[in-house]
Amino acid sequence: MGHIESSLARLGRLDEMAARDTPASRLDPRAKVAATLAFVVVVASFGRLDLGRLAPLAVFPLVLAPLGDVPWRPVLARLALASPFALGIAAFEPFLDRAPVATLGAVTLSRGELAAMVILAKFALSLCAALLLVATTGFDAVCLALAKLGAPRVVVAQLSLTYRYLFVLGEEAGRMVRAHGLRAPDAPRPTLRRAGSLLGHLLLRATTRAERIHTAMRARGFDGRLPMRRRWSFGRLDALFVGAVLLLLFAARAFDLPGLVDAALSGALR
Partner 1 sequence: MSHHLVVVSDLRFAYADGTSALRGIDFTLHHGESVGLVGANGAGKSTLLLHLAGALMPAHGTVRIGDWPVTPKTLPQVRRSLGMVFQDPDDQLFMPTVEDDVAFGPENLGFPPEEIESRVVASLERVGALHLRRRTPHRLSGGEKRAVAIAGVLAMSPDVLVMDEPSSNLDPRARRRLIEQLKAFEHTKIIATHDLDLVLDVCARTIVLAEGRVAADGPTAQLLADDALLSASGLERPLRLQGCPRCAARSAAPS
Q: Which residue among 96, 155, 216, 263 contacts partner 1 (CB under 8 A)?
A: 216
Which range touches partner 1 (CB under 8 A), out of 92-100, 105-113, 157-165, 178-186?
157-165
* From 155, 168, 184, 237, residue interacting with partner 1 (rule: CB under 8 A): 168
| Nearest CB to partner 1, comparing residues 18 and 75 | 18
Nearest approach in angstroms of CB 209 to partner 1 is 7
Q: How far apart are CA 177 and CA 6, in angstroms?
A: 14
Distance CA 149, CA 240 (A): 18
CA distances (Å), origin 204, targets 74, 119, 176, 194, 200: 34, 39, 13, 15, 6
Stretch that binds partner 1, among 63-71, 83-91, 163-171, 187-195 (CB under 8 A): 163-171
* Among 32-40, 53-61, 193-201, 210-218, the segment contacting partner 1 (CB under 8 A): 210-218
Helix 139-148 and helix 111-137: axis angle, to 10°? Answer: 100
Q: What angle is formed at CA 18 by the lines to CA 14 and CA 19, rounded to 5 degrees?
A: 125
**Is residue 209 at the binding interface for partner 1, with CB under 8 A as the rule?**
yes
Report in angstroms the alpha-carbon separations of 186 from 19, 198, 250, 266.
Answer: 44, 18, 61, 69
The residues in 220-249 that bind partner 1, with binding defined as CB under 8 A, are 220-223, 226-227, 229, 231
The single residue among 164, 175, 189, 201 that binds partner 1, judged by CB under 8 A, is 164
CB 13 within 8 Å of CB 74: yes
SS3 label, residue 45? helix
Name which position in 217, 244, 246, 251 contacts partner 1 (CB under 8 A). Answer: 217
Residues in contact with partner 1, shown as a per-residue x/- string from 52 to 81 under the rule CB under 8 A: ------------------------------
Residue whose CB is less far from partner 1, 226 or 245: 226
Q: Quick one: which of 134, 13, 127, 14 has its CA closest to 79?
A: 127
Q: Are 29 and 142 in contact (CB under 8 A)?
A: yes
Spatial separation of the C-alpha atoms in residues 146 and 236, rounded to whole Å: 20
Instruction: Output the smallest distance, CB 69 to partner 1, in A.
Output: 19
Q: Which amino acid is at 248?
A: L
**Minimum CB separation from partner 1 for residue 160, in Å?**
6
Could you give the 3-state DSSP secondary structure of residue 117?
Answer: helix
- Binding-site ranges for partner 1 (CB under 8 A): 139-140, 143, 160-161, 164-165, 167-168, 209, 212-213, 215-223, 226-227, 229, 231
